[in-house]
A = this chain, B = another copy of it.
């Protein structure tokens, strides 16, 4: 059992709230400081929160503190992608095998649930309206401005966790320390939140159990179901160019554009113009940095250390997996050397954080462009067949990321190998029936069985079980 520490967590978002529960479980006293007011008591401005898709990594972390079932009650399973073409025709592509789904949840709802669960814990205290105005890593002191009372207090915890998101102030302090590697890169795309309201009877106006996509080449709209019958839509759109945020200047521009490219959605969006012109444009940033810790006293976690774009639906899941991994490491920890613990943690997670960041950018191209291509969809079907025939040897990339806890870095690398094999396979494929052609079967046998055996003999196994 490790010595009880006074721990400060910056940020009461999803990762900060969940982390508090895990740290308290390990016997520590936790104070959570949040810049904003208590979200459970006020209505936050909407219009900038993409719905969340919970998948296996996230569920695992929720299960670890016993709230999986409670969250399932308010989560809507999405079994696959529903593509809408420019004539309004629909195509469905399942995400995984029968029974595998990702789950639409409301960010606010899940966050409030995590707070409600942790607040009664006598070792966890929330402090809202606390803006960190100065973080001194060397002394491990944090100056906090109470934005309600205008009073300033300085805290000096034993350990500081930066769970304060993509614009982390704890990370900013690290950036001023020696030799901190840091990268922030923005896509030339922004996003705008829109709404499809519930049907008059409270039902859903589109298929409920799907993630809807209107793929249009270099831009797209998506829609995720909410439990009140509405859908939260997000338009991902270039900032500049012929078809862009810059080009849509008024209601007429907007309506003409939507009628042309999303004709089936327009009748479902009565507040389109109001939503569009009142909501801000969100930006899409990837943040990579290293190290994530400062001595043995401060550690970044979640978006603060690895913000990703939302296209793989893995931002929250990756942050929750950080916590699950840390939990595992705390189980075996002697309570002595936090510096070593933090260093092991960041080393273990860094390559995975980089991998999901890159996968998320790549998946944007898949979602906005490739899913509209029949050839791509045929390839997905062929891949499903391969994974049915060789379940031990082939898990599709999307499934590795979404339905397993295989390291993201392993998924990325394996996915690249699969891509090479699929290019060879697809040369022989015109229809789904071609899968049974001898040359296809022989190719797969060669690639998946013969080469695998050679690799094993050469001692080149990855050490990760597929």
Residue numbers of A with Cβ under 8 A of B are 175, 178-186, 283, 285
Contacts and interface: CB of A to CB of B under 8 A. Distances in A.
Contacts of A183: 182-185
A192 to B, nearest CB: 15
B185 A283 contact: no
A180 B184 CA distance: 8
Contact of A186 (B179, B185, B186, B285): B179
Contacts of A184: 175, 180-183
B181 A283 contact: no
A184 B181 CA distance: 5
A237 to B, nearest CB: 14
Nearest to A184: B182
Given A180-B184, A181-B186, 15 more contacts: A175-B184, A178-B283, A179-B186, A179-B283, A179-B285, A180-B186, A181-B184, A181-B185, A182-B182, A182-B183, A182-B184, A182-B185, A183-B183, A183-B184, A183-B185
Contacts of A179: 186, 283, 285
Contacts of A185: 181-183
17 contacts: A175-B184, A178-B283, A179-B186, A179-B283, A179-B285, A180-B184, A180-B186, A181-B184, A181-B185, A181-B186, A182-B182, A182-B183, A182-B184, A182-B185, A183-B183, A183-B184, A183-B185
A183 B283 CA distance: 18
Nearest to A186: B179
Nearest to A183: B183
A197 B179 CA distance: 31
Nearest to A190: B179
A189 to B, nearest CB: 10
Nearest to A286: B181
Contacts of A283: 178-179
Contacts of A175: 184
A285 B183 CA distance: 13
A399 B193 CA distance: 53
A294 B248 CA distance: 24
Most B C-beta atoms less than 10 A away, residue of A179, A184, A186: A179
A375 B183 CA distance: 38
A81 to B, nearest CB: 29
Closest A-B pairs by Cβ, 10 of them: A183-B183, A179-B186, A181-B185, A182-B184, A179-B283, A181-B186, A178-B283, A181-B184, A182-B183, A180-B184
A422 B183 CA distance: 35
A184 to B, nearest CB: 5
